[in-house]
Amino acid sequence: MAHEKFDVGGMTCAACQAHVDRAVCSLPGVQEVSVNLLSGSMTVDYDEGQLGPDDICAAVDRAGYSASPVSAGPGEAPGAPAARLESPTKKLEATAEAMKTRLVASIAFLAPLFYIGMGHMLGWPLPAVLADHAHAMTLALTELVLLLPILYLNRSYFINGFKSLAHRAPTMDALIAIGAAASVAWSVYAMFVMADQLACGDVHGAAATAMDNLYLESAGTILTLVTVGKYLEIRSKSKTGSAIEALIDLAPKTACVVADDGSEQTVDADAIQVGQTVRVRPGEAVPVDGVVLEGISAIDESALTGESIPQEKSPGDTVHAATINRTGSFTFRATRVGADTSLARIIQLVEDANATKAPISRLADKVAAVFVPAVLLIALVTFIVWMALTADVNEALTAGVAVVVISCPCALGLATPVAIMVGTGKGAEMGVLFKSAEALENLHKVDVVVLDKTGTVTQGRPAVTDILPAVRADGRTLSEKQLLKLAAALERSSEHPLAEAIMAAADERGIVARPVSDFAAVPGRGVTAREGANPIAAGNAQLMAELGIDIDRTQLEAFARDGKTPLFFAKNGELVGTIAVADEIKPTSPAAIGTLGHLGVHAIMLTGDNRTTADAIARRVGLDDVVADVMPADKERHVRDLQAAGHVVAMVGDGINDSPALARADVGLAIGAGADVAKKGADVVLMHSDLLDVARAIELSRAVIRNIKQDLFWALFYNSLGIPLAAGVLYPVLGWQLSPMFGAAAMSLSSVCVVSNALRLRGFRPTSTDMQQ
């Protein structure tokens, strides 16, 4: 099964999107198609044995559009290097600039055209040569000359619109083209009538025809107002990609490469090859991913992980593209370049999410597929009814054209993709990466969140929590530092995770472990050794019992209740102290659990740890529902049972041993990702390793879906109200009929309003989580 992305040209509205979708879906072997009107792109999952990219492009061409596969350049891996990624914002801005030129020129010709065409109705003074009834044809020809440049500047509406009619797949451009063409055609017919009247000497008749039957200014106004709306829409769209733009701008464009002879050369960042040595000086951005070779520095990784505190880096540590070197100079070996860097993969995730289609968009797709033909039918019926009732071609034509130009499938088609693009971009800014629009939508329905314990609720690594020297028989006690020094001497040769926690605590206090002799590990119990002539030991209660050393059982039970693991230390057959080690709770975990409850989401912790430790963690973070002693393979079953009970379940885990449960859940969230964004099995990647991001992601999802529903409601409401008004349903009551010019203005503004409403998501703040912090 192949998955390929295509650039699609010629799409202007939701109807275009629906036609392209339908044309590709009809091909044998196509499994799934997602067409993105906003970015002019399409992703297709298809069987390579049945068709290829050329067949897909040919189907799009037959539908009246153009398509080409998005592929890497010669010799490149699929995808583009981060430094060479083309910004969607810049493409939209270039389109907007070209449209602005067209718009300014259109307005320059429309202003005098409108003045001349409407001046007599508004009482505006006109030049004598145009005001005189004897010069009615001069007036008409002047209007036609002023309209011709507007028609030429906006010819794309006619080309695309009539082409879509020829393919029997009418689009928004078809509505505009038909409306403007009808106005022009009727006006040209009226000019022939005027010429005949003037030839017969009927000056007043020709003047009356000019006043009542020329719609040239209406055609010019319709085209110009639509262009105004398109311009404002594109300008607004360009702001929706600001998050991707910001990510792309993080990548430095140049880098300093160190040759084998030690010489340095500045090269384009996208020219760096795997294995090359790169130097990064203070204040510079890391150009690609790699491993530090020489030097020590502090790296600001907030762009990728959200961690505001710079991370110390020394030889052997990993650095990532777009992170900032704050202190010393260092060199590193490039390990991931181009599309393989962490930054490029984050950008790709955001773009892939934008390319997918949310389930909620299916309603708009179904409506858009039949919208334009339905509008044309309504316009025809309107014209016929008006002719039957009034026998006045002017009135009938006005009503028919008004119906055509006020209709707007664009508002319906833009409602979902614009909000999805802004929402996924905002998520990326927050460190929440949605892999698909479906994940973004499904998250708002979640009512149960299943949490893994280790690395999700807790830090995922053991740390020393208590250092308790014991009172010996002679009444003496060791200091905490002395006890930790003894512990470090014993544990320095051990590879047990608890030993690593003790060594880390010793390093933090500047304690250097002394060498010991006769070191021996006692499997499942601890270690023994000799410090000089003194026998020493460290281990659990079982080892102490074997050595005949008494321990405080009350203290042992207290540690168990708190979820801590005690290590007992003995010297010369006597207990000298206890050090407790535990996987500590993340500082934000209690606030995150509380916030999920505030959002009406029930949290459950699944852990393979024992019941006592699990209950201790649950008490400290405020969890009421805990399932302990669960093997990783059984987590998926628990998620399935919750779904069978009617719950919409989100699973939060580390994306490794939790993969089956993450895949089973309605939404899988991988936490603790850091720069590794390619978490398999997860629908959402949480970059900050912060449980609060689960609540933030849910709030963002709810805000996006609320925004989409608002846009769909107003788009449907606008068309449901606007089309009947244009058809003249109020004329018998109020004697009022909608002008095609006002219809064009309303149609243009409807799309702008939808995009503007979606842009409000850029100011989204997770209020409930902020209150908890």
Q: Residue 39 and residue 9: Cα distance in Å, rounded?
A: 10
Burial of 684 (0-12, 13-18, 19+ CB in 10 A): buried
Q: Residue 284 and residue 83: Cα distance in Å, rounded?
A: 15
List the catalytic residue out of 289, 452, 583, 658: 452
Q: DSSP characters for 323-361?
A: -EE-SS-EEEEEEE-GGGSHHHHHHHHHHHHHHS--TTH
CA 56 to chain centre: 27
3-class SS letters over 698-734: HHHHHHHHHHHHHHHHHHHHHHHHHHHHHHCCCHHHH
| Residue 150 CA neighbour count, 13 Å, CB half | 30
Q: Residue 413 and residue 366: Cα distance in Å, rounded?
A: 10
In angstroms, how far apart are the furthest CA atoms of the chain?
134
Q: What helix, strand, coil percent values describe the chain, rounded to 5?
A: 55, 20, 25
What's the order of all strands across the beta sheet hosting 277-280? 264-268, 254-258, 277-280, 330-336, 289-294, 318-319
* Nearest residue to 687 via CA among 706, 673, 700, 698: 673
Q: Residue 529 and residue 515: Cα distance in Å, rounded?
A: 10
Q: DSSP characters for 603-650?
A: EEEE-SS-HHHHHHHHHHHT--EEE-S--HHHHHHHHHHHHHTT--EE
216, 113 in Cβ contact below 8 A?
Answer: yes
CA-derived radius of gyration, the chain = 36
371, 15 in Cβ contact below 8 A?
Answer: yes
Q: Indicate if 452 belongs to the active site.
A: yes
- List active site positions: 452
